[in-house]
Structure 1
Amino acid sequence: MLVLGQLRLKLLFMNRVGEFGTDCIGFHLKEEIMEQLNRKAPSDTRRHFPMAEQDD
């Protein structure tokens, strides 16, 4: 479950970056998060991170 904790921290950081507008760092983090979710997490875990899939 350490991976999920790290993803949660990255999502929180990504939201902070989003306050200042989408920049290359935020975009890179989002891509990294989605890649990790798709690679490491089972499909049922992905449903717990709906905000990672939304593009506001």
Structure 2
Amino acid sequence: MKIYNADKIIPGLLIFVAVLTLPFWFNLGRASTPPQPKIDTPAIQQMKDKTCVLPKV
């Protein structure tokens, strides 16, 4: 099987894959800190019953 214009296609594919995976390589080894939820917001303080608002399944 002959690949026409392989001298342009293969480097283009390699550059595409490199650009596509760059964010993963850039952040490799660094873990982001998880968000810390704040439970003392003014909206929560105004609530009469401080219960979960999600429905029970």
Fold equivalence (TM over 0.5)? no
Q: Which has the larger radius of gyration?
A: 2
Larger relative contact order, structure 1 or 2 (CA cutoff 8 Å, min sep 6): 1
TM-score by length of 1: 0.32
